[in-house]
Chains A and B, each alone.
Chain A
């Protein structure tokens, strides 16, 4: 690696991240997660500038540790759900062709176990649902992340359009926070278009 390349890379790294978190006011929102996903929330949210993956967008009310809606906008075959933290030693499972709706909670669980080191994760309930008119799955789960040891609950809907995975999850601590805003998430889900 020559000296110029090193200097340039460092210069890029030194540039500060100028974008800030933005307000999502009630009303139609499109191109969520830089994809065809759209929604029409009736309450306000904040969109985080930090994304977490190519096809990922995060909304929150009080901060992503307290309530977090993650949009996965059309993850294609061959890609993982999240940006891998350690591609060499901890590669994440990829979306594969002909996946079934019941494979959606499985790929989320495996990704969380590997990347977030959630040693206790269980998928609790799975049932069919329609997401933006497409046949999909709704599931609930619970997990504990090793870095803060807070017990969290999750609720999610997912579907395939062609071979692309669309998934929207809501996660919050089991104490107080999950129940506080789950209705806002459910309202959001009814307005989803893929």
Chain B
């Protein structure tokens, strides 16, 4: 019901034609970019230097995915979004955390979580998020945020707030200093959103992509909640303590801004699929271990609607059902493993999963056949002896 309401709002906004009145406020012109951002004030130098120290932590971290091709791909999408002048000198660090986030340091290092790479559906959407982070950097928000933090705040003012203390942080957002993000104000978040839209408008990507990400995030949240038999809420306005505008709010104003400047035509969906293909199995494996059945089903379904049910997607789905492990799930899992194999999935782990699902369902003969095949294909598996023990039961 909520989803329908959201779609109606967005459709209405998207239908608004470009009106002469708003032409005075030229929202499409990009501000001139000062290349080679050098720290000027003491504050900036301090931040820049310590961001270098921070980058050393990133360099040494076991969580960073050091794949040249993936790195180059993400960098290319950033450059296609913000332009060569702006993206030169940016270093990309891809961190293996299964949630949607990205952030940028004052010295030009950009951190991207793998959960983001799993959730966007096109280069346009990826570019929108990377562009948003770059916008904070270009607008020098980090420095401003720190300056504000140093001044005293009036504690008593908070008492006048009615209603509860809202906390929209998901548990993932408390993770990892190396992946942590700078806290900006809601106004700054909106500022960055709108500058990012200007980047997109000047690129070959359609600007509506920025709004679509938040739509998907709301849908995913709905799916997660439904999977846990919980209610999902999408509020239009943020609570007092929230540091981002709500997903719904963002989806709406970004759609509105997008209607005024359409950008390019090609979101490069195929390009995105090709770009992350090698790592999709890893991203899915991390996602499945989160015990979020509803949200993961939603993500798999979306990936399948774009690319069809490939062997990778069917295998991931099978793993997820097997993990939940209710009697009906195990039957479904066995079916999905078989489908994956039929769809050309060659990794022996599909036989393993099939065998384990069948074994738990009581189909012992078929189970042993599948497990034997797994051991034949992967004789030096780290669990070979344990699987062999199951064959002897």
A and B touch in the complex (CB under 8 A): yes
The residue on B at minimum CB distance from A96 is B325
B71-79, B137-145, B385-393 - the one binding chain A: B385-393
Question: Quick check: A146 and B383 within 8 Å, CB to CB?
Answer: no
Question: Quick check: B390 and A123 within 8 Å, CB to CB?
Answer: no
Residues 26-79 of B at the A interface (beta carbon under 8 Å): 62-63
Shortest C-beta distance, A106 to chain B (Å), equals 7
Question: Quick check: A146 and B323 within 8 Å, CB to CB?
Answer: no
Question: Quick check: A126 and B382 within 8 Å, CB to CB?
Answer: yes
Residues 336-393 of B at the A interface (beta carbon under 8 Å): 356, 359-360, 362, 382-383, 385-390, 393
Does B22 sit within 8 A of A, measured CB to CB?
A: no
**Whole-angstrom CA separation of A75 from B194 in the bound complex:** 52
Does B171 sit within 8 A of A, measured CB to CB?
A: yes
**Whole-angstrom CA separation of A120 from B382 in the bound complex:** 17
Does B304 sit within 8 A of A, measured CB to CB?
A: no
Give the residues in chain B near A93, CB-CB below 8 Å: 291, 323-324
Question: Quick check: B96 and A120 within 8 Å, CB to CB?
Answer: yes
Give the residues in chain B near A28, CB-CB below 8 Å: none
Does A90 sit within 8 A of B, measured CB to CB?
A: yes
Provide the B230-242 mask, 1 if CB < 8 A to any CB of A, else 0.
1000000000000
**Whole-angstrom CA separation of A117 from B175 in the bound complex:** 7
Give the residues in chain B near A119, CB-CB below 8 Å: 63, 96-98, 175-176, 286
Provided the pairs A102-B390, A128-B385 are in contact, do residues A96 and B326 lie with their beta carbons within 8 angstroms? yes
Tell me the number of A-to-B contacts counted with CB atoms below 8 Å: 89
Shortest C-beta distance, A150 to chain B (Å), equals 11
Question: Quick check: A92 and B291 within 8 Å, CB to CB?
Answer: yes
Contact of B389 among A97, A109, A135 (CB under 8 A): A135
Provided the pairs A101-B390, A117-B175 are in contact, do residues A106 and B228 lie with their beta carbons within 8 angstroms? no
Number of interface residues, chain A, beta carbon within 8 A: 35
**Whole-angstrom CA separation of A128 from B385 in the bound complex:** 6
**Whole-angstrom CA separation of A146 from B390 in the bound complex:** 35
Provided the pairs A119-B97, A123-B382, A124-B382 are in contact, do residues A100 and B323 lie with their beta carbons within 8 angstroms? no
The residue on A at minimum CB distance from B61 is A149
The residue on A at minimum CB distance from B360 is A98
Does B161 sit within 8 A of A, measured CB to CB?
A: no
Provided the pairs A100-B356, A126-B386, A128-B389 are in contact, do residues A114 and B291 lie with their beta carbons within 8 angstroms? yes
Give the residues in chain A near B171, CB-CB below 8 Å: 86, 89-90, 117
Question: Quick check: B360 and A100 within 8 Å, CB to CB?
Answer: yes
**Whole-angstrom CA separation of A191 from B96 in the bound complex:** 40
Shortest C-beta distance, A173 to chain B (Å), equals 14
Contact residues of B with A, CB < 8 Å? Answer: 62-63, 96-98, 170-172, 174-176, 228, 230, 286, 289-291, 323-327, 356, 359-360, 362, 382-383, 385-390, 393
With A96-B325, A125-B382 already in contact, 19 other A-B pairs whose C-beta atoms are closer than 8 Å: A91-B228, A96-B326, A98-B325, A98-B360, A101-B389, A102-B356, A102-B386, A110-B291, A113-B289, A114-B289, A117-B171, A117-B172, A119-B98, A119-B176, A120-B62, A126-B383, A128-B389, A135-B393, A137-B389
Query: What are the 9 closest A-B residue pairs judged by CB atoms, nearest first?
Result: A128-B389, A126-B383, A127-B385, A96-B325, A126-B386, A98-B360, A110-B289, A90-B171, A93-B291
12 pairs from A and B in contact (CB 8 Å cutoff): A88-B230, A90-B171, A110-B323, A113-B290, A114-B289, A119-B96, A119-B175, A123-B382, A128-B385, A128-B389, A137-B389, A146-B176
